[in-house]
Amino acid sequence: MEVFVTAVITMAVIGIILGAIIGIAAKLFKVEVDPRIDLVSELLPGVNCGGCGKAGCADFAKSIIEGENPPSKCPVASQEQISSIAKALGIEVGDAVKQVAVVFCGGDHNQEKVQTLYNGVSDCVSASLIAGGPKGCSYGCLGMGSCARACPFNAIEMLNGLAVVHPHLCVGCGACIDTCPRKIIELAPQTAKVHIYCNSPEKGAAKMKVCAVPCIACRKCVKAGEENQFIIDGFNISVNYEAEKLVDTAIFENVKCPTSCLLSETEHLKIEKASKSEVV
Amino acid sequence: MSSSKGLTFKGGIHPTSDGKALSSSAAIQDAPLLEEYQVIIHQNIGAPPKVLVAKGDEVKKGQVIAEAGGFVSVALHSPTSGKILKIDNIPGPMGVPVQAVFISADGEDQWGELMPPMDWKNAEPQAIKDRIRDAGVVGMGGAAFPTHVKLSPPPEKKLDCLILNGAECEPYLTADHRLMVEYPEKVLEGAAILGKAIAVTDIYIGVEVNKMDAIDTLLAKADAYGIKIVGLQVKYPQGAEKHLISAIIKREVPTGGLPMDVACVVQNVGSAAAVADAVTEGKPLIERITTITGLPVKNPSNWRLKLGTPIVEAIKFAGGIVCEPAKIILGGPMMGFAQKSLQVTVTKNTSGVLLMKKEEITQYQSTACIRCGRCLDACPMNLQPGSLSAAIESEKFDLAAKNNLMDCVECGSCAYVCPSNRPLVQHFRRAKAEIRNRSKK
């Protein structure tokens, strides 16, 4: 009986002492957490895609509160989510333009010549290390789908040996950009609906040898468009996404691209689908 | 020689039919002069040479057309006399377009002013190294690493031996074999010059014992130079520098290290012959011995080809083809590069042009690893190819790097023995590229 009482008392005393230490430590070493971070994190989509440039949504929430980024910098959040964050914090929504990824190549298996039989690992980096890849053009899409596998939103589809971005699914997080060994994926403003799907700096004749849909720098589009709408860089032309007035589908009323590399987003998707069904 | 089987290292493979009999008895022939040569400018590892000529210039044979563009770089010389037509892109041996100087031959094949012959026995080591650089000599076994750089270790690394690689372990190739049989003095003198340049007297030439005629020829003359000839077991990759060192002087190059870390320099016998030409005759490296072989070739043979010879012409020298080749490889079948164009031209490291018939090549379907462990036995670098490829397939590049992936020499022994036909080397090359990119960032 005596042993029992001693044990209970000892345990109680130890408990009280430890409890007191924890209590003091909690007061002394208290970490102040801004409650708004939790609030904003709740309102963010929570996919941790990294598209804002921060290490996940909680980090981005912190940067909003510190005023480093506006809420609209989140590429995934809908307009309602963004305005509810702005409302909760009493700040401006911001004017970050939503961006989408564009694969600057139109050479699917029907359009681009295949020069070698490739029998190796189905991965773009691996394929590019062997004789520069199986396709004829050294600047085009390799078609092994490394970017499609890297996309957290399933926005990239491999159609007949060409990576195609579905703009309504793409949030512009940029996860695909670094996976491409050819570096042909770039972000463009979502408002741009017309692109030149070619990025080869080769001369027109050299491109025509390996591909049916290259930009041959004929400049028909440049002449038909307004000033500054296109950038001429050597033997390649690209759309100027920083122009005051972006080139839009109206340009097709004035000009038809002889090689069909100047296309609207919707036309680009259509062509790939058609060629896929032909193969199947 | 220690035994009739020869010295060797742990691991490696021996392909059952090595194809060497096709061309091993064909004497080296001089290629007829062509009308045009397309000399690729960047033939060496390291900085590309700086072009010194322009369209329309007249050049003599052996004239410098590009000078070394840095320390790890060498000069490039005109293979014949003639006129510069243009500088333009041509298909490169690695599959990507490269810049080349187009030279239209005038048919005279006339030497320009040669560098003066050197009395190398009394020359300064630095003067020999400078001559080697100016003559454009690179590792002619395949890597094309500038020879003078290997001879110039940092001062804290002391060297005590030189090994010449005459193993020629790649199946089919016989260029080094013929060189050793027909020009043993050149190889031995080159070896002695290289030894002088790094001030070592312990010089070995390692030759696989399937080339007994080469060993006998060299042995007969080696004593005069004080050079030791070593017989090596017939095994691939016996000619890799780390494995030559392990077989001959029983030293192990530390992980991530170079031969100089074990006080050793390894050079190819072809490079040694080129060094002998450069030093004793003042001739720059403008041609090399190349094996043109394979079952589709009419007369598999060894040729002295000028740099810039398109391989389509080289195949014509060997009598053309008797049946349609399905694969054309520059180099040997184990580490060579399959080509997509016949317009690729001969460079300083083109040891062979190998044609293969359709029946000889297979479109493998790779399946899952069955953990049989054959790759472990085959790996000459003591790596675990199976586990490494599993790590790489799940994109765990850090894990692969931790398990010493960077020590892989890409010899392909693991993929050769794999019963599941797994593309192991391709995984490794991809991961090595990825790891190098990451460490740059």
Q: Which of A114, A124, A128, A130 best probes binding to B when mutated, by most B CB atoms within 10 angstroms?
A: A130
> Domain locations in chain A?
35-89, 99-279
For range A252-258, the mean pLDDT:
88
Higher pLDDT, A114 or B365: B365
- Give the residue among A196, A229, A230, A231 at the shortest CA–CA distance from A214: A196
Q: How many residues does chain B have?
A: 441
For range B215-225, the mean pLDDT:
94
> Domain locations in chain B?
20-25+138-281, 374-440
Pairing assessment for the beta strands B76-77 and A262-264 based on DSSP bridges: unpaired
Q: Rg for chain A (alpha carbons), in Å?
A: 27
Q: What is the pLDDT of residue B1?
A: 40
Q: Do domains A35-89 and A99-279 have the same CATH topology?
A: no
% pLDDT > 70, chain B: 99
User: What's the gap between Cα B65 and its chain centre?
Assistant: 23
> Is a pLDDT exceeding 80 seen at residue B2?
no
The answer to whether B95 contacts A126, with C-beta atoms less than 8 Å apart, is no
pLDDT bucket at A272, cuts 50 / 70 / 90? low
Residues 116-145 of A with CB under 8 A from B: 116-117, 119-121, 123, 125-126, 129-133, 138
pLDDT digits (tens, 9 = 90+) for B336-363: 999 988 999 999 999 999 999 998 888 7
Of B94, B340, B363, the CB nearest to A116: B340
For residue B429, list chain A residues with Cβ-Cβ distance below 8 A: 126, 129
The whole-chain average pLDDT of chain A stands at 87
> Is a pLDDT exceeding 50 seen at residue B17?
yes
Task: Record the pTM.
Answer: 0.82
User: What's the gap between Cα A141 and its chain centre?
Assistant: 16
**Tell me, what DSSP letter sits at residue A179?**
G
Q: Are A100 and A167 in contact (CB under 8 A)?
A: yes
The answer to whether B340 contacts A120, with C-beta atoms less than 8 Å apart, is no
Q: Which of A119, A124, A177 best probes binding to B when mutated, by most B CB atoms within 10 angstroms?
A: A119
pLDDT digits (tens, 9 = 90+) for B276-303: 999 999 999 999 999 999 999 999 999 9
Homologous superfamily of A35-89: Electron transport complex subunit B, putative Fe-S cluster (1.10.15.40)
Q: What is the pLDDT of residue A116?
A: 80
% pLDDT > 90, chain A: 32
For residue A132, list chain B residues with Cβ-Cβ distance below 8 A: 94-96
> Is a pLDDT exceeding 60 seen at residue B3?
no
For range B407-412, the mean pLDDT:
94
> Is a pLDDT exceeding 70 seen at residue A277?
no
Of B95, B97, B430, the CB nearest to A126: B430
Give Dmax over CA atoms of chain A in angstroms: 104
Determine contact: A178 vs chain B, CB below 8 A.
no
For range B236-264, the mean pLDDT:
93
The whole-chain average pLDDT of chain B stands at 93
% pLDDT > 70, chain A: 96
* Cβ partners under 8 Å of residue B71, min gap 6: B46, B47, B149
For range A243-251, the mean pLDDT:
86
CATH of domain B20-25+138-281: 3.40.50.11540
pLDDT digits (tens, 9 = 90+) for A94-137: 777 888 999 999 888 888 777 788 888 888 988 888 877 888 88
pLDDT digits (tens, 9 = 90+) for A151-168: 988 999 998 889 999 998
> Is a pLDDT exceeding 70 seen at residue B4?
no
For residue A118, list chain B residues with Cβ-Cβ distance below 8 A: none
Q: Which of B89, B329, B340, B366 best probes binding to A when mutated, by most A CB atoms within 10 angstroms?
A: B340
> Which ipTM value was assigned to this complex?
0.76
For range A32-48, the mean pLDDT:
87
| Domain A99-279: top CATH class | alpha beta
Q: What is the pLDDT of residue B190?
A: 96
Q: What is the pLDDT of residue A160?
A: 84
Helix (H) or strand (E) holding A14: helix A2-28
